[in-house]
Structure 1
Amino acid sequence: MSKSPPPAPDQAPVLVRVLLPGGQEVVARLWARRQLPDGWRYDVGLPVYENGPGDSVEAAEYRVWVRAPDHVRPVAGVSYDQVPTEYLPKPSVVDQVLGPRRPSGWVMAKAGGRGPGRGGVVHALDCDEALTGAPELTLERALDVAQQPGVRLCSLCGAAAELDPVLKGFDRGFEDSE
C-alpha cells in the first residue's frame, strides 16, 4: 500500500461516513470532490494500519475515490463548504440550445450485386442502418461517393437532408416562379 500524499498546509480534512462492501460503515476524511458526467466522486482517506519497520504496526490512511452518494454519507453537524471541489464546465449557450449533437461523418453501405441501383447507401455515422466498422467518410468523400451512379442517401438518418443541399445547391425552392 502506498502512503497518501500529504495534505496541503491550509487544508483540514472534513469527516464523512463511508459505506464499505458488506454494509460496514466507517468514518473517514474527505479531501476533495469532483463532479463527473455520470455523477460525483469523493476522495476519501480511510483509516488503516500498515506494517512498519521490524514488527511494528503504524496507523495510515488509504486514499480512494468513491462514488457519491452510493458510498458516502454526511456526518451530522459537519459543513462541507470548504472541501476543494471541481465542477464540470457549464455548457455553452449554443450547446444548451442545440442539445446533444450527433457525430459528424458518414459511412457507405455497399449493396450486393451488379447493375443500376446497386451502388449502395450513404448513412450518417450514428444511423441504425450503418455498418459497424465501416470506414468513416469525410464530407468531401461522402459527396464524391453520393454522386456515383446507383448510390443513394439514407433518408432515415438525415444523410439525404444534410448532403442533398450541398450536392444540388441551396437555392432549390427559392427560384423565381416566373
Structure 2
Amino acid sequence: MSTAPPAEPPPIILVTPTGQKITGRLPGRRQTARAWLYDVGLVLWKSTGPEGTEPAEYRQWVPAAHVKPVDGTDYSVVPTQHLRPPAPPPQWAWKVERQQHRGRAPGLLVHVYDCPTAPPGGEELNLDEALTALDRSGARACTECDAAVALSYWINSRETPDTDFGA
C-alpha cells in the first residue's frame, strides 16, 4: 500500500564523498536486489542568465550508506517502493509412468504434468530429469498429451548439434 507523498518531503542528511553533511529532502526511497536507495533532493542555486540565479532542486538516488536520518523525523510518510520477489522462472513439469511388460524390463512413459492419462501420484520431474528418463532403454514420451512434441526440441538438439552456432 502506498501513501500519498507529503506536502513537503522530510529532511535527510546527505554525507558527501568528502565527508560534508548537507541537509536535503527525501521524496522517495526504494529497495533493490542489492540495497536500499534514497531519492535525495538538494535545493541549490541555478543560473538563469548572465546575472540571475534562482533556487532549484537537484535530485539523485543515493545508497543508504550515504544518508543519515534527522533526529525526530517521521519517515513513514515517504513513498516507498519495496522489492517484489522475482517470479519463478517458467518451467515445464513432467511425470513419469513406470510400465510393466511381461518378462521384460519395465518401460518408462514421460507425460506432461497434467496429462489425463498420467497415473495419479506419479513421480514428478524437471526438464533435465525428463530428458534423462527418455535416454533409458524402452523409454518414450506420451503422444496423448504432446509430451513427445514438447520434448522433441531438446531431444533433437542434443542429438544434432547446432552447426550455425559460432559460425
Which one of the candidate residues 46, 58, 82 is aligned to 2:54?
A: 58
Q: 1: distance between equivalents of 2:85 and 2:5?
A: 30
Q: 2: distance between equivalents of 1:55 and 1:35?
A: 42
The 3 A distance-change label for structure 1 pair 160 and 53 is closer
Q: 2: distance between equivalents of 1:34 and 1:45?
A: 15
Deviation at 1:54, TM superposition (A): 3.6
CA-atom RMSD, angstroms? 3.2
1:1-178 to structure 2, matched below 5 A, reads 11-68=7-64, 70-90=65-85, 163-168=131-136, 169=139
Q: Which runs of 5+ in 2 are unaligned?
A: 92-126, 141-167
Whether the aligned pair in 1 keeps the contact of 2:13 and 2:68 (CA below 8 Å) is yes
Paired residue type of 2:33 = P
| CA displacement, residues 87-124 of structure 1 (integer Å, 9 cap, x when unaligned) | 112467xx6xxxxx8x98xxxxxxxxxxxxxxxxxxxx
Q: 2: distance between equivalents of 1:160 and 1:81?
A: 47
The normalised TM-score by structure 1 is 0.48
Paired residue type of 1:12 = E
**Identical amino acids, percent of aligned pairs:** 38
The structure whose Rg is larger is: 2
Q: 2: distance between equivalents of 1:12 and 1:43?
A: 14
The 3 A distance-change label for structure 1 pair 165 and 44 is same
The 3 A distance-change label for structure 1 pair 35 and 167 is same
Whether the aligned pair in 1 keeps the contact of 2:27 and 2:78 (CA below 8 Å) is yes
Paired residue type of 1:26 = I
The 3 A distance-change label for structure 1 pair 64 and 160 is closer
Q: 2: distance between equivalents of 1:19 and 1:78?
A: 17
Alignment correspondent of 1:176: none
The 3 A distance-change label for structure 1 pair 29 and 10 is closer
Alignment correspondent of 2:122: none
Q: 1: distance between equivalents of 2:6 and 2:131?
A: 58
The runs of 4+ residues in structure 1 deviating greater than 4 Å are: 159-162
Deviation at 1:56, TM superposition (A): 1.5
| Count of matched residue positions in the alignment of Structure 1 and Structure 2 | 102
Q: Alignment partner of 1:55: what SS?
A: coil
Deviation at 1:9, TM superposition (A): 7.9
